[in-house]
């Protein structure tokens, strides 16, 4: 599932006339960066939730073939990260699935990170597996760290600890964590914290360059980071 329903307020004035997922970096929309990563990982179907300028995202996706995209319409009201997933569960099925944020992306180095995430997934030990970025390999991140990665792969909240890692906006979830949930506005952080308490929130450090675009002035550094990462990959 691609979480693409946000308002993108910090990207104004660009997002006064378009949804943030359609902002372009290095000639490609943020949404396509994410969908291309899913396609490379072998994903054949992606659910994309929409709310702000939904018709623009629907029209844009009409030209894509891989992965097949299905719309989860939140035009009547935003449901936040977890509520949006709960609404889309009938389209996602009963097996573990990827989620990615539509406003962050990455340049792989070696084996694609989403494939590495799938290889690391173990539903007997995990309810959630997060992809994490080292601040040293991140561009555009203005916040603190999110999680501490323990030797056994489990996570704890970093609370800004400089030794921590950043949640890279990609994960694998098992739908069982939403067994009692309703499609009301609420955040994935609730489920992350429950998984931490149960010892079932795990993490994997990504390889390559992670890029987030939160404000218009982050576009130029993002373009430069893409060019640099691709040049190093040649």
For 1, 3, 67, 70, 229, the CA distances from 73, given in Å and listed in that order, are: 13, 11, 18, 10, 35
Rounded-to-integer distance, Cα 72 and Cα 51, Å? 9
Q: pLDDT by residue (tens digit) across 62-108?
A: 988 899 999 999 998 999 999 999 999 999 989 999 999 998 899 99
- The proportion of the chain whose per-residue pLDDT surpasses 90, expressed as a percent, equals 82
Predicted confidence at residue 125, as pLDDT, reads 96
The full length of the chain comes to 234
Helical ranges in 45-98 per DSSP H: 54-61, 80-92
Query: Where do we find the tokens 């914290």?
Result: 193
Q: For 38-65, write each residue's pLDDT tens digit.
A: 999 999 999 999 999 999 999 999 988 8
Report pTM. 0.93
Q: Is the pLDDT of residue 233 over 90?
A: no
pLDDT of 232 reads 76
CA proximity to 138, closest of 104, 102, 101, 189: 104
Domains, the chain, ranges and CATH? 2-233 (3.90.550.10)
């Amino acid at each position: 599932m691609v979480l693409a329903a946000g308002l993108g307020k910090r990207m104004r004035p660009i997002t006064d006339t378009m949804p943030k997922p359609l902002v372009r970096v290095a000639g490609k929309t943020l949404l396509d960066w994410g969908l291309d990563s899913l396609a490379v990982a072998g994903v054949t179907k992606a659910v994309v939730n929409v709310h702000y300028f939904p018709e623009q995202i629907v029209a844009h996706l009409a030209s894509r073939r891989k992965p097949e995209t299905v719309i989860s319409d939140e035009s009547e009201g935003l449901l936040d990260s977890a509520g949006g997933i709960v609404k889309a569960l009938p389209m996602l099925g009963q097996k573990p699935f990827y989620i990615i944020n539509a406003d962050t992306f990455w340049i792989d180095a070696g084996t694609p990170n989403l494939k590495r995430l799938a290889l690391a997934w173990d539903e007997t030990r995990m309810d959630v597996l997060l992809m994490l970025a080292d601040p040293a390999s991140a561009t555009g991140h203005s916040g603190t760290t999110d999680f501490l990665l323990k030797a056994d792969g489990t996570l704890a909240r970093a609370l800004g600890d400089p030794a921590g890692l950043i949640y890279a906006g990609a994960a694998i979830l098992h739908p069982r964590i939403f067994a009692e949930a309703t499609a009301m506005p609420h955040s994935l952080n609730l489920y992350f914290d429950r998984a931490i308490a149960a010892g079932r929130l795990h993490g994997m450090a990504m390889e390559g360059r992670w890029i987030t675009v939160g404000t218009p002035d982050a576009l130029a550094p993002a373009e430069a980071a893409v060019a640099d990462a691709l040049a190093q990959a040649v």
